[in-house]
Amino acid sequence: MSTSGKIITTLPSTAARFETEVLKSNLPVLVVFETPWSRPCQVLDPILEELARDWAGKVTVVKINADDSLDLSLCYDIQSIPTLLCFVAGNLRFRIVGTATKDAILAKLKASGFADSIDTLVKEASGAGAANSKGGLN
């Protein structure tokens, strides 16, 4: 996993590490297939950093260089970068292709059945009242 001080794990291009860090993780994992030369990936980086800070210990954020990990990119049908994949208990729950706002990523997580966990994360991140699963505030 990540070393102390790092909030986003960058995985080397090995299927074994992917299996250990993503598919066998006890936490939900947001995997970002990206490349260092892509402007959209650079735009997404600060959003991912913020989410990783907000979700520390609750959701793992992992970056994979799509150019260096062609086998994984082909396996998960990565046709555009950035592509975000969310895995829970080793199962792919959703995919976002292209850049996305923090709110869009949170909405996808909520739609995938993480409403209670995400409401808690939103509350902790904002310091405001917790949003209920219907979108209002408690």
Domains by residue range for the chain, with CATH: 9-126 (3.40.30.10)
Residue 49 DSSP symbol? H
The pTM for the full model equals 0.76
Contact at 8 Å (CB) between 28 and 87? yes
Estimate the share of the chain in helix, then strand, then coil, as percent rounded to the nearest 5: 40, 20, 40
CA distance 48 to 89: 21
What would the pLDDT profile of 43-63 be if each residue is shown by its tens digit?
999 999 998 888 888 888 899
How many Cβ atoms are within 10 Å of 128's Cβ, its own excluded? 10
CA atoms of 138 and 131, how far apart (whole Å): 6
Q: What is the mean pLDDT of residues 87-105?
A: 92
User: How far is it, in rounded angstroms, from Cα 21 to Cα 26?
Assistant: 9
Whether the pLDDT of residue 97 is over 80: the answer is yes
pLDDT 10s digits, 33-45: 999 999 999 999 9
pLDDT of 114 above 70? no
